[in-house]
Amino acid sequence: MGILDNLRQSVIDGDMNHTQELVEKAIAENVPAEQILKEGLISAMSEVGRMFEAGEFFVPEMLIAARAMKTGLTLLRPHLIAANVHAIGKVIIGTVEGDVHDIGKNLVGMMLEGAGFEVIDLGADVPPEKYVRAVKEHHPDLVACSALLTTTMLRMKDIILSLEEAGLRGQVKVMVGGAPITESYARDIGADLYAPDAASAASRAKELIFELRKS
């Protein structure tokens, strides 16, 4: 097996130390940063997403793999910047106001990073004005909102309304998710995208971005 196959497997196995060693080795051997990203880290996370959807992986395994991926990405990031490698899109993510649950949101953020997105994490308990400010500052392609409570899921609609009021709604797509959210709720509040879990959040966001780039 080549170094990138080993790297891919170490991320799938969630072996942070080995991932770190292999990224360092690949950089030292002058493997292009973009190739390390695509064939090592992104390829691993898309396999992790597939395994999760197939019921072969559960949340803990996915979290551990995502952490290994993040370690590798942190080491690789300066080399990607130096090589002028761009992310496939930019996402602002947060858990809505009044809600402190952030484990699912963090996992969604990590899977999006693993799919090649730049992710700006606003944290938890994020009021609509903070999303609006972040959209003005960072110009993302996607605003991703997570909610875990039936009481706080209502705040998602406020975020969409605030983006409309600020004249920003046409510039960004909105993705919503979290345990109480359904496809029909997402449609009712005017969101563009819904995903039931972190793996599909990454794959659906990627599909949407490719559709947008085509049109």
Query: Rg (Cα) of the chain, in Å, rounded?
Result: 17
Interface residue with ligand B1M among 18, 70, 101, 169 (CB under 6 A) is 101
Q: Which whole-number Å values give the CA distances from 212 to 42, 76, 138, 186, in the listed order?
A: 21, 28, 18, 20
Comparing CB distances to ligand B1M, the nearer of 79 and 105 is 105
Interface residue with ligand B1M among 87, 88, 149, 154 (CB under 6 A) is 149
Quick check: 83 binds ligand B1M (CB under 6 A)? Answer: no
Token pair for residue 30? Answer: 């002058």
Q: How far is the CB of 32 from ligand B1M (least distance, A)?
A: 32
Find the DSSP H helices in the chain: 3-12, 16-28, 33-35, 43-53, 59-82, 103-114, 128-138, 155-165, 183-188, 198-214
Interface residue with ligand B1M among 26, 36, 108, 163 (CB under 6 A) is 108
Q: How far is the CB of 166 from ligand B1M (least distance, A)?
A: 20
The 8 Å CB, 24+ separation contacts for 21-25 are: 22/72, 23/71, 23/72, 23/75, 23/76, 24/75
CA atoms within 13 A on the CB side of 66: 26
Q: How far is the CB of 69 from ligand B1M (least distance, A)?
A: 15
Comparing CB distances to ligand B1M, the nearer of 35 and 210 is 210
Comparing CB distances to ligand B1M, the nearer of 7 and 147 is 147
Quick check: 100 binds ligand B1M (CB under 6 A)? Answer: yes
The residue type of 131 is: Y
Which residues ranging from 41 to 70 are in contact with ligand B1M (CB under 6 A)? 59
93 backbone dihedrals φ, ψ, rounded to 5°: -125, 150
Interface residue with ligand B1M among 39, 113, 121, 197 (CB under 6 A) is 197
Dist. CA 32–CA 26, nearest whole Å: 8
- The strand order across the sheet containing 89-95 reads 117-121, 89-95, 142-146, 173-177, 193-194
Q: How far is the CB of 177 from ligand B1M (least distance, A)?
A: 2
Interface residue with ligand B1M among 39, 97, 99, 141 (CB under 6 A) is 99
Quick check: 94 binds ligand B1M (CB under 6 A)? Answer: no
Positions that interact with ligand B1M (CB under 6 A)? 59, 98-105, 107-108, 144-146, 148-150, 175-180, 195, 197-198, 201
